[in-house]
Structure 1
Amino acid sequence: MRKLFGALTTRGRCFVAAGLAAAACGLLIPEPDLLRVGLLLVVLPLLSAFGAGRARYRLSCVRRVTPARVPAGQPAELTIRLANVSRLRTGLLLAEDTVPYALGSRPRFVLYGIGSAGSKEFRYQVRPDTRGRYTIGPLQVRVADSFGLVSITRSFTSTSTLIVTPRIIPLSRPPIAGNWLGDSEHGRRSIAASGEDDVAPRAYQTGDSLHRVHWRSTARYGELMVRREEQYWRNTASLFLDTRRSAHGLAVSFELAVTAAASIGVHLAGEGFDARLMTDLGEVPRQGTFRDTLLDTLAVIRPSRESGLTLGIDALATAGGQIIAILGLLTAGQARQLAEARRGTAPAIALLLVPGDHEYSQAATAAAAQVLAAAGWRVATVTDSARLAAAWQELHRGSAGGPGAGVPDGAALAGRAAEG
């Protein structure tokens, strides 16, 4: 009985209240006709609730989100198809989908009955402004009677997953004349086949043959080094993202770093690079293609509590290929440690983010830029997302002269910091 009363709408409860009042007055006056009307008003909502509860509607729900992965600020469309797989025609259905607060209000739809073996389809859009992984659903359907006296809610179990990636900023392709970052049109270069002086060794790993030990590099680095048999640095890259909370401070700086990593990573994937994603916590395991791994990871990445870059630098040192690093606030010591991760003649570039307008941040960024530039890195500084595309072009300007060509932005920043 409690379930029956719980299924009543406001109109149904008013009917019951009016019926009880009329029945009471019919007994007190006494007036048999008024008593009959009162009983009718009480019984009608209860019979509707009983009938709606006994109705065995069998509904199936199929959901689809298009696209399943979307950059922040772009719309995605949800399509829901309800099918009636029972022999009975449904009554009035009120459908409401469960949507996270960040995606807006819950959409509601009215379906005026679905016949046997029939179906109804409805669509709605969401436009997320914040990256993340969102679960949409399940769908809730309220079964109402024709008089609007009863409403029974039933929920499906199926949900949809929407992955909202960082905003992707288009980056221009470097001129073919200066392919310092590599160009698939110019083919791949095998460093191991270029002579003894051009060998780019890596640290010894368990299982490596002792015949591949490079003794000159072993003496230089103070640890056992082996030759890379097939090290193609023109088409391989390691994308390094500094996620340390202490390196960014403000959330704006961290989001800028994530946007930069997503934009550069998508650009590299489009250019056919065999790339890896690394953070200060180490290499991110690949799930599928590099692009899929990159976007799925950056959609949910959060600042880390790591204080140093040791884990990430160790992963960089063993990965090989060219390095593209997106960095927050660095000390000079951390910059020197990162500079040593570059092996042989492989290119290395760094985007230094300036977290805020404080003189300390600018001076520390300038010092880190000078250390990296002195080690043969190309360096550019970025203060906001509008500067990213221009900084990417500056990193390739004069690239025909090799990794050390051009004047890095870090040197200019150092000059401005000294003048201040």
Structure 2
Amino acid sequence: MISGLRALTARGRSFLASGVAALLCALLLGEYDLFRVAVLIVSLPLLAAMVVSRTRYRLSCARRLDPPRVQLGGEATVTLRLENVTRLPTGLLMIEDTVPPALGARPRFVLDRVEAQGIREIDYRVRSDLRGRFGIGPLTVRISDPFGLVELTRSFSISDTLVVTPRVVALPHVRLSGEWTGGGDSHTRSVAAAGDDDVAPREYRQGDDLRRVHWRSTARYGELMVRREEQQWQSRGALLLDTRRIAHRGEGPRSSFETAVSAAASIGVHLAREGLGLRLVTDQGSERLTDTGLSLALLDTLAVVRNSPARSLEHGIAALRQGGGDGLIVAVLGAVDPEQAQALARTRHGNMTGVAVMLDLTTWDRPEPGRDGEHRAAEAMLSGAGWRVVRLPADASIAGVWPQAARRERFALNRGGS
């Protein structure tokens, strides 16, 4: 009751003050009719405060996100479920959910009445043009009486998190011969010698040789199956993302940094679906992925990655060297000088495949004197060391340039012998 009196609106306080004044006048003047009117005026806000205060603690709330993880620019539906657990109907309910500015304006709704034991569900949509983890909640419910005399506010402690991941595009299948450690043609021959019963087949993909169709598995699963060529249970790789602030150009969603994050996400998801065990490395070192599926863990990590103040790739290169069992390294790079390119080139050894996705920063910003020459020298350094260089300009999609990863450019080595 006391809390209800504290929640009187301006109208409710006016009613109460007017009723008290009329009551004093009735007592002083001996006007019994005025006394009855005064009692009625005073009783209205008091009764409203009593009813609203009883309703205050009898509401339950739940929230559901569908889906809880969306790509950049995608929409999620937030469903609020309110239940009146009392035997009395509520008054006017004004509902406001708390969302960060990146997801838009705060949603507000008005419910005229929720009957006893009644349930109401309210939907609204949120979207974001920024990556990140965004907390939604707590929910605030303002309970008012039909006359607008009392308004109580209740905040529910429950909150949920919406994860906005980088934009992922589907990449064409490109054969990276060194991506499977312990694999190769010799393993294929050993499988053939062992017989069909020991073959681990997979589903048919467009472009697969029909001579690899495994008919016994096809009959068993009811769909076209082919023999695997690689020893996929031993596959390991590393994905290096250059997050240095000085290595990127532009601001906002169209910056080279956001393009690099999206490219890394697309490549990582593509390789994970191909069966590659992947670890994420940045210029700060190895990133710890969660225990969820590889693709989801990678996207969750990339959702919150930010520019770093580092000026070199030394920590990332050191982390790559620690993964001696990697059969594939994919590096998504910003501005790299020849010295750093040489250090990165040395991380590739033996039959390991190295792919460098190099952002063409001249398409994001006017090139600085000498920077274009450094970029070409770094590219030549990696190519000469056996890396496959993929050039990614601002107006291109990673899906369009990814087939360059199948090429082996060794012009730098040949130039040395001419």
Q: Same fold (TM over 0.5)?
A: yes
CA distance in 1, matches of 2:8, 2:411: 76
| Distance verdict in 2 for CA 1:235–1:2, change over 3 Å | same
Shift of the alpha carbon at 1:314? 1.8
Asked if 1:72 corresponds to 2:72, the answer is yes
Aligned residue among 350, 359, 381 for 2:391: 381
* Residues 231-380 of structure 1: pairs in structure 2 closer than 5 A: 235-251=235-251, 252-287=255-290, 288-319=292-323, 320-353=326-359, 354=361, 356-360=365-369, 361-380=371-390
CA distance in 1, matches of 2:67, 2:40: 53
CA distance in 2, matches of 1:270, 1:316: 22
Shift of the alpha carbon at 1:31? 6.0
Shift of the alpha carbon at 1:153? 0.9
CA-based RMSD of the aligned residues comes to 3.3
Contact 2:383 2:411 in 1 (8 A): no
Contact 1:256 1:385 in 2 (8 A): no
CA distance in 2, matches of 1:314, 1:190: 31
Shift of the alpha carbon at 1:268? 1.5
| Distance verdict in 2 for CA 1:348–1:20, change over 3 Å | same
What's the counterpart of residue 81 of structure 2? 81
What's the counterpart of residue 409 of structure 2? 404
CA distance in 1, matches of 2:145, 2:238: 62
| Distance verdict in 2 for CA 1:166–1:40, change over 3 Å | same
Contact 1:57 1:84 in 2 (8 A): no
Shift of the alpha carbon at 1:325? 0.3
CA distance in 2, matches of 1:67, 1:266: 18
CA distance in 1, matches of 2:186, 2:232: 7
* Residues 212-231 of structure 1: pairs in structure 2 closer than 5 A: none
| Distance verdict in 2 for CA 1:171–1:41, change over 3 Å | same
- Cα displacement string for residues 101-150 of structure 1 (whole angstroms, at most 9, x for unaligned residues): 11111222233433443322121111111111001011111221122211
Letter in 2 for 1:327: L
User: What stretches of structure 2 of length at least 5 have no aligned partner?
Assistant: 190-229
Contact 2:383 2:410 in 1 (8 A): no
- Cα displacement string for residues 182-201 of structure 1 (whole angstroms, at most 9, x for unaligned residues): 689xx93399999xxxxxxx
Aligned residue among 392, 396, 403 for 2:402: 392
Letter in 2 for 1:145: D
- Cα displacement string for residues 293-343 of structure 1 (whole angstroms, at most 9, x for unaligned residues): 211111111111222212211221232211110011111110000000112
What's the counterpart of residue 203 of structure 2? none
CA distance in 2, matches of 1:231, 1:348: 19
| Distance verdict in 2 for CA 1:9–1:56, change over 3 Å | closer
Contact 1:189 1:232 in 2 (8 A): no
Q: Secondary structure at the match of 1:86?
A: coil
* Residues 151-190 of structure 1: pairs in structure 2 closer than 5 A: 151-174=151-174, 179-180=175-176, 188-189=183-184
CA distance in 2, matches of 1:248, 1:148: 56
TM-score, scaled to structure 2: 0.77
User: What stretches of structure 1 of length at least 5 have no aligned partner?
Assistant: 195-229, 412-420
The share of aligned pairs that are identical, in percent, is 47
- Cα displacement string for residues 150-187 of structure 1 (whole angstroms, at most 9, x for unaligned residues): 1111111111110001122332223xxxx235689xx9
TM-score, scaled to structure 1: 0.76
